[in-house]
Chains A and B, each alone.
Chain A
């Protein structure tokens, strides 16, 4: 039996008083007396109308009665909900019970602290690792004055945020708020009845669990992101950003310009049509002879290999072209000119 702690006893008294106020609040059930009175009045009128054979009036009054009865039903259902087992008629916890609960919390958690003036209680969870992602310890801070609202916050001791967000220290914590999910009802029930040991245990178990259906950030994307190109996971160490579209791509899908090093994805980084090496659009240049795009290695004196070959076999044409500075000169018009490279001069013709 631990020694009696007078400060903890006083805190227990204050928390018990807060819970007592919340319990009283649940007594406030509106049974819609006006609707009840209206029902009685309508019943009398309906009885009179029926006796006198006023069928139209009776039909109208029955509709009114039905509407009023629905209102009564709604308020009665709300009353039934408010008086569900454990929600209403249990007497508020005593100071003794709350004290015993706080003593149990102190035994359960190594770092138990409380502040009597602020009416706060803080505990620290064990180290939490979910699916091999280390998240560290979390402080659970209960704020006694907030009982009845959202009375606690979650504070990471040493945050291990995902690479994508700095406000999600845990898959189910946004900022300092736990998204309670399945824990919501048992937490509310535990607080309403002053079961603080259960309250802290439920939060710890929730923090130690992972629901892959609805995390703020999925654990498999905690470090890194999905590759934009192949859809696989790209860890921080194994990913890069496309300079063209800013998408994350894994190392297998990441490419870089052979000439300037610009990185990109399949969609953003073109290839040289000649040598098929990766080459960004800034480094690709048009051949002055045929206007085809080529990388710097495939252009010599601003001409591609084909245009150089053409110039070698027909130097006159080449000279004329150079003199006139008209790269679009159609040398293929010469009967001796070689055939143009594939697709040059071709156009789609409707069938």
Chain B
């Protein structure tokens, strides 16, 4: 299934990606941010706070925003 995946870390990323049916928020996070900790990110599904075991649905908008972003 397709979802809109947004990562506000680094250069920023927002594009549609394919994920397996039944993928949870935590599984997607582990796949996409393998070296990150979920507690260091604001994780939202369809602009709403999400739980780690929430199962993603086709067309969902999933965003990962770091809680710490360093200004200069």
Query: Which of A32-40, A121-129, A196-204 interfaces with chain B?
Result: A196-204
What CA separation (Å) do A193 and B63 show in the bound complex?
Answer: 14
Q: How many residues of chain A have a CB within 8 Å of chain B?
A: 37
- A86, CB-defined interface residue at 8 Å: yes
Q: Are A183 and B69 in contact (CB under 8 A)?
A: yes
Q: How far is the CA of A245 from the CA of B8 in the complex (A)?
A: 49
Interface residue total, chain B, C-beta cutoff 8 A: 20
Task: Tell me if B69 and A198 are in contact (CB < 8 A).
Answer: no
**Contact present for A185 and B70 (CB under 8 Å):** no
| Selected interface stretch from B10-18, B20-28, B29-37, B51-59 | B10-18
User: Nearest Cβ in chain B — how far from A199, in angstroms?
Assistant: 9
In the complex, whether B6 has a CB less than 8 A from a CB of chain A is yes
Given A198-B63, A198-B65, are A86 and B14 neighbors across the interface (CB < 8 Å)? Answer: yes
Chain A: CB-nearest residue to B49: A108
Known: A186-B9, A190-B8, A205-B42. A211 touches B14 (CB 8 A): no
Are A179 and B72 in contact, with the CB atoms below 8 A? yes
Contact status A172-B71, CB under 8 Å: yes
Q: Say which residue of B63, B65, B67, B71 sits within 8 Å of A179 (CB atoms).
A: B71
Is A100 an interface residue, CB under 8 A from the partner?
yes
Interface of B is mostly: loop
Greatest chain A CB density within 10 A among B14, B67, B68, B72 is at B72
Inter-subunit contact B12/A205 (CB<8 Å):
no
Contact call B12/A185, Cβ cutoff below 8 A = yes
- Kindly list chain B residues whose C-beta atoms are within 8 Å of the C-beta of A211: 70-72
Chain A positions 71-109 with a Cβ under 8 Å from a chain B Cβ: 85-86, 90, 100-101, 104, 107
Q: Which residue of A lies closest to B66 (CB)?
A: A205
**A85: shortest Cβ distance to chain B, in Å?**
7
- Asked if residues B71 and A189 are in contact (CB atoms below 8 Å), the reply is no
> Does A180 have its Cβ within 8 Å of any Cβ on chain B?
yes
A190 with B68: CB separation less than 8 A: no
The docked-state distance in angstroms from the alpha carbon of A208 to that of B10 is 17
Beyond the given pairs A85-B15, A86-B12, A172-B72, 17 more chain A to chain B contacts, judged by CB atoms under 8 angstroms and listed by A's residue number, are A179-B72, A180-B72, A182-B10, A183-B71, A186-B8, A187-B12, A190-B8, A190-B12, A190-B14, A198-B8, A202-B69, A205-B42, A205-B69, A206-B71, A209-B69, A209-B70, A214-B72
| 7 pairs from A and B in contact (CB 8 Å cutoff) | A85-B13, A86-B12, A182-B72, A186-B11, A189-B13, A206-B69, A209-B71
